[in-house]
Amino acid sequence: MTDTVKIISPIDGRIYAERQVATGAEIEAAVARSRHARAGWSRLTIKERAGYVEAFLDALLAMNDEIVPELAWQMGRPVRFGGERRGLEERGRHMIALAEQALAPSVKTDKPGFRRWVAHEPVGTVMVIAPWNYPYMTANNIILPALMAGNSVLLKHASQTLLVGERFAEAARRASLPDGLFQNLVLSHADTEKLIGSGEIDHISFTGSVEGGRRIEKAAAGTFATLGLELGGKDPAYVRPDADIDNAVENLVDGSFYNSGQSCCGIERIYVHADVYDRFTDGFVAAARGWQLGNPLDPDTMVGPMAQGRFADLVREQTAEALRKGATAHLKARHERDEPGSPYLAPEILTGVNHQMSVMREESFGPVVGIMKVADDEEAVTLMNDSPYGLTASIWTRDLDEAARLAPRIETGTVFANRCDYVDPGLVWTGVKDTGKGGSLGEIGYANLTQPKSIHLKEI
């Protein structure tokens, strides 16, 4: 019997879709098609590739009305937010426009009598192992620039969001991408690791858990494939005494509870200077009361169920531990389905927290946030760094010089001032410590999807 993968909808616990996993023969055929397609694709000019890739992006964006409710059924995001269209388009258009500059040869003119440059050639076949939480944007952070750089792409999407892979494949068909250039594969974990270890993959991009990242590294060992890993996170915010408190409250509530807290760069812990702690906390609690949990298909719902009940149970355990150790819960909201094993979990705010509580150091990836009082910048930076993760951090202050002074001391891939939970395609998306290695987007994103080649010509 052929194995299948099922999407269990967090809305009602029923099977929303079921797909067969690819057979060994189908995987081998996909790899062969990918290898064949990239040979001709890499010979096209960047402008010629851009025509196809723009059509690919346009086709994906045109499906948005169908995608939005589909996402609600697959992973619980409320329909009121309109899917991922805005971020998908912003990043996609930016990376297409950037390609000519980022992929242009680096010409060296300092030696008369020589013609010298560094070319940026495609790495070959890129495998994208995409997550369920932002299933379109995270996947396309790699897919689109990989294609623009001249590579072929194999997509293995998360089992929770299998239909996203099919949408990408349909967009590729509508854009008339060459056969085999982009392929969506439904794979088991074992077959994924086998394919990674086959030597047929030249670059692997994985977004997921730390343990998943370790398995990817182990599977790729000895193949010399390059890796891009975005793993866990515990993103902090620091509210300084000179912050615009109303602005900080509005944005940090959104950063904490949007997507049920299931955001790679969502806010999981907040440190507030003692001078403004009470005002900030009171405002934060008041604003958060508007983030009501409900059915994600209801246009009034702000917070949907988490993708799986086990994810919600982890947040329940962290919250219960914090309360046992003396923390205070401020919202205390409950849903009729809020029980062990249920993905329905209302947002919660905890004060009286400290770093002996797992909710302040270990990833939650759900709708809970701890708010902790600090005495000064020194204490804030020390606590922000007291985590095994490092994706983003945000500083809330009117003094950008002070933000710039603190930024180098914060162990993270991105430091924001006066914003959070955002991916800037003009920079690089990267992490430190257990959050991973490599980087996507911006010029560095292209560098990680290409192989440098030195051309050294001597005149005679």
| Enzyme catalytic residues | 230, 264
211 C-beta neighbours (distance < 10 Å), count: 10
Cα 45 to Cα 138: distance, rounded to the nearest angstrom: 26
Burial 363-395 (b: 16+ CB within 10 A, else e): bbbbbbbbbbbbeebebbbebbeebebbbbbbb
Question: Beta strand 125-130 with 152-157: parallel, antiparallel or unpaired?
Answer: parallel
52 C-beta neighbours (distance < 10 Å), count: 20
Three-class secondary structure of residue 170 per DSSP: helix
CB-count exposure of residue 47 (10 Å: 0-12, 13-18, 19+): exposed
349 bridge partner residues: 369
The letter for the amino acid at 215 is: R
Three-class secondary structure of residue 152 per DSSP: strand
**Count of all residues that appear for the chain in the document:** 460
